[in-house]
Amino acid sequence: MAKNNGLNKSQAIRDFYKAHPKAKVKEVVDALAKQGMTTTANYVGNIKATHNKRHRARSKVVAEGGVGIPEVKAALALLKLTGSMAAAKQALTVAEQIKKIV
């Protein structure tokens, strides 16, 4: 197995598409070749398809839930901060009680 100098090809592809969302597969392969990474068009296409599939799924869930991405990110931050769903619910209950008082 060849060494890749600590670089992750999949992440490099995702990063390139993040910077250049309309880039074609061939452009990505050429850009990565300039950085010293060898990859195939099929591999880049698979990474792009997986990314797009996840993005569409996330967008669909957010649209069905009636909340935006900022709200979802805030909810995930609350869950991470509290450590569990039960603790997050308890924190929200306390916040609701404080809101009623103020």
Encode pLDDT of 21-51 as tens digits: 889 999 999 999 998 899 999 999 998 888 7
CA distance 94 to 26: 54
Q: Higher confidence at residue 101 or residue 72? A: 101
Residue 102 half-sphere exposure toward CB, CA atoms < 13 A: 6
Separation in Å, CA 95 to CA 2, 11, 16, 38:
54, 39, 41, 53
